[in-house]
Structure 1
């Protein structure tokens, strides 16, 4: 069982207003935090299993200089101290430092690069990314901090509106999701993080976007055939007690 730390890893005083210059030439200013999450583990998990504690946050950023849209989403992956050590001196926390690229950040860059190169309209396009090391006044001096800038696609988080949708809109969302899933798959990637939180619904355009590509796998030919069970996998439908997985007409829609 993972116990939350209740620590704010990305404090507004440190991040709001921060300007970040990226390798391709654009500079972005962090305007507001959308959300943050943590995966925090104990010392034994790190030393015996190589598991790294990490915090992630997504921000809305405004363009200061360079190419790209006026606003974007900037996602940050950052190593954090293992459980119970956040209050230690910086020199002690620095002993935990891992400098290599975090797997979640690396995978998201890979997935978005593939989708962007393919011209996919159903996922954010990648603008830029960079890897750095934390400074002495951050959580793990010398530990990794990883930044990704991506398109801010329109829409609402499906997990916040799903229970308030009428059946007709739920049907529209499912149809739009199928179209977007097929497009992303045709472009070469399949998301392994099938949750409502990773879908955005543009009600005006009847468009569904797949976001958060931190876990994906390449789409081989055998993976590209649509199955209505994808609705259940993504919590866009339920089989129900008397339902049949092979008969969508028996599902709770």
Structure 2
């Protein structure tokens, strides 16, 4: 198991205030970093397994010019050096460069494009995206850096409020989630990354949004039938020790 690098890959000095011009004509400025994550692997994983180390970050951005809303979420996927090589010279790190489109970024664009085209109201709409090669002063010169601009939907992170909800509100959230899940599925996609962390809850409108579409699959016809077990898959309910998967009345709600 690789130990976390403890490196800030998206330093505020480099990214906050950065303006990005996208292919469809809009320009966005990065205002605030929401979070960042890394998947970092060793040299052997890269050379023998083809596994790419990647850092991902989400920012709140404001529109500088072009069409669209005044604010949006901008997600960045960026190749990073394999474990232990971040301090090497740029010319050494450049030998690791992969220019292919990152799978997570590509999948999110595909999913959001499908949902946006279908007019789905239960997921962020896709605004624009682009991919560039990293420059000589970035982590892997010549490696990919991929940007996605999407609608900033309202709501609070369910994983941060779930334990403080009263039963009535949890019931409201489950009902809203079911409606949104069915809408996304009817629009043609199913998330493969189920969990509270990928839900936003708009209390005022009693609306649940499914976010983070980096892992999805096309919905088949047989997928479109609702199962209450989806509540368990998304951690919106628990079976408990004495519960029955086929009887929701026995679950911990």
Output aligned runs, 1:34-49, within 5 Å: 34-49=34-49
Q: Work out the CA distance in 1 between the residues paired with 2:176 and 2:122.
A: 10
Corresponding residue number in structure 2 for 1:68: 68
2:106 counterpart of 1:106: yes
2:158 pairs with 1:158 = yes
Report the Cα distance in structure 2 between the residues aligned to 1:5 and 1:245, rounded to whole angstroms.
Answer: 40
Give the alignment's Cα RMSD to 1 decimal. 0.4
TM-score by length of 1: 0.99
Structure-to-structure mapping, 1:60-99, within 5 angstroms? 60-99=60-99
Segments of 5+ residues of structure 2 without an aligned counterpart are none
Distance 2:21 2:111 in 1: 22
- Take 2:41 and 2:166, find their aligned partners in 1: how far apart are those partners? 41
Q: Which runs of 5+ in 1 are unaligned?
A: none
TM value normalised by structure 2? 0.99
Q: How far apart, CA to CA, are the structure 1 residues paired with 2:202 and 2:69?
A: 19
Residues 38-79 of structure 1: CA deviation (Å, up to 9, x unaligned): 000001011111000000000000000000000000000000
Q: How does 1:126-205 map to 2 (within 5 A)?
A: 126-205=126-205
- 1:3 CA displacement: 1.7
Structural mapping, 1:112-131, within 5 Å? 112-131=112-131
> 1:193 is paired with a residue of what secondary structure?
coil
Q: What is residue 7 of structure 2 aligned with on the other side?
A: 7
CA distance in 2, matches of 1:183, 1:30: 31
Structure 1 residue runs of 4 or more that deviate by more than 3 Å after TM superposition: none
Q: Secondary structure at the match of 2:142?
A: coil
Q: CA deviation at 1:195?
A: 1.3
SS of the aligned residue for 2:92 comes to: helix
Write the deviation string for residues 149-197 of structure 1: whole angstroms up to 9, x where unpaired. Answer: 0000000000000000000000000000000000000000000000111
Aligned residue pair count: 253
Residues 176-219 of structure 1 deviation map (CA, whole Å, 9 limit, x = unaligned): 00000000000000000001110000000000000000000000
Deviation at 1:117, TM superposition (A): 0.1
